[in-house]
Amino acid sequence: MAQHPDSGIPDVQSALDKLTGLIQKEPALQGAKLQRPLSLTPDDTAILGTLGGEKVVFQMFLGPEATARAEAQQAELALMAAHLEDGPHQVPRCHLILPEHGLTVLTFIGGKSLAEQLPKANAQKRRQMLSQAGMWLKRYAMARRRKAHFGAPFWIETRSKRLAKIKAPEGATRALILHDTLGRRAEALRGAMVWQAAGHGHFTPANLKIHQGTVYGINIQRENWSALARELAGFLVEVQLTCPDPNADADLRFGIVQADFQALLKRNVLDADEIYSILPFFIGIEILDRVISDARSPQLEDIQQARLGHLAQAFIESPISPDAYQ
């Protein structure tokens, strides 16, 4: 997992050395042992280890905002632990915080993520897991929700600026067609209302685990407000690109396999009037963002590029009017 020195991501050894130094001098960390890195980014490092005989995750935030981010994570997890109580939808507990060092110590959640489980699951199990994922987000978002006017033009304008930076002709062509399609969808959404909520912030199959019947959201870092439909759209697009159903039929909704689409929304996760209006708009935004990113700096493997191309084309060809899906 060692990183290139120009990547901005700390290498494994320096991350371990920094945390080892803290363990040696902080009484609250006495007896702690480190096992292996779980993630390394320019902004934070997560390392699996033990403290007091229990498996934990040492989350060390980096940079000038490290203290604020550690405090924000502790506050968010404490609030949601109280909101979710002892039900089947949970978050890790924060056992310890050393804010001056940007460090939190969290419960380690065992088991495999949905990103690992979905590709191997049969149809029934896959739909069940997607339904559980949708219900987790619904329960999480119920704590803080508000209705707001939907600002579709904002999303179109910000993507216009990103489009201007694309130099690869092929990527630009596809992105421009997507952008035009989204512009027409935006016109149809003038005056629309949308549910906003403080949600996960990065709701993906990789950040959900189902362990012993309980659904856990992991990698939660702060209070994160957005349209609920946007979180769901990001999840659906990520599922199609990284853990698609190999046995799915060709029945699609905005490029998304219909069975996946319906399973995630099964438990009234989103208001009915947003399912065929706001949600598809954000699905398009998520697809466009990935097309722009890949066009500017190609990093996707061939199979994912092919999936993204099919997804984009299917979205472009999808009817805009919600009446087409009734």
> 296 pLDDT band (50/70/90 cuts)?
confident
- 117-126, 223-232, 287-296: least confident range: 287-296
Helices marked H in the chain:
12-25, 66-84, 114-117, 123-141, 152-163, 169-188, 228-242, 258-264, 272-275, 278-296, 302-316
Residue intervals of the chain classified under CATH 3.30.200.20 are 12-107
Residue intervals of the chain classified under CATH 3.90.1200.10 are 114-320
- The pLDDT tens digits of the residues spanning 112-136 come to 999 999 999 999 999 999 999 999 9
100 vs 149: CA distance, rounded Å: 40
Return all residues near 116 (Cβ < 8 A) that are at least 6 apart. Answer: none
The CATH number fitting domain 114-320, selected from 3.40.50.150, 3.90.180.10, 3.20.20.140, 3.90.1200.10: 3.90.1200.10
| 224-227/54-61 β-pairing | unpaired
pLDDT confidence of residue 11: 64
Return all residues near 236 (Cβ < 8 A) that are at least 6 apart. Answer: 256, 260, 261, 264, 283, 286
pLDDT confidence of residue 6: 46
pLDDT (mean) for 4-29 = 76
Angle at CA of residue 81, ends 76 and 86, nearest 5°? 165
Q: What is the pTM of this model?
A: 0.92
Average pLDDT, the chain: 91
C-beta contacts of 182-188 below 8 A and 24+ residues apart:
182/155, 182/156, 182/281, 182/284, 182/285, 182/288, 183/156, 184/320, 185/152, 185/280, 185/281, 185/284, 185/320, 186/152, 186/153, 186/155, 186/156, 186/281, 188/277, 188/320, 188/321
- The pLDDT tens digits of the residues spanning 46-103 come to 999 999 999 999 999 988 999 999 999 999 999 999 999 889 999 999 999 999 999 9
CB-CB contact of 238 with 205 (8 Å): yes
> 9 pLDDT band (50/70/90 cuts)?
low
47 vs 17: CA distance, rounded Å: 12
Q: What percent of the chain has pLDDT over 70?
A: 95
Angle at CA of residue 218, ends 217 and 224, nearest 5°? 80
User: Domain 12-107 sits in which CATH superfamily?
Assistant: Phosphorylase Kinase; domain 1 (3.30.200.20)
CB-CB contact of 41 with 55 (8 Å): no
pLDDT (mean) for 226-233 = 97
320 vs 6: CA distance, rounded Å: 44
Tally of CB atoms within 10 A around 204: 20
- 231-235, 272-276, 278-282, 296-300: least confident range: 296-300
142 vs 268: CA distance, rounded Å: 12
pLDDT confidence of residue 42: 84
275 vs 265: CA distance, rounded Å: 9
CB-CB contact of 107 with 217 (8 Å): no
> 4 pLDDT band (50/70/90 cuts)?
very low
- The pLDDT tens digits of the residues spanning 37-59 come to 998 888 899 999 999 999 999 99
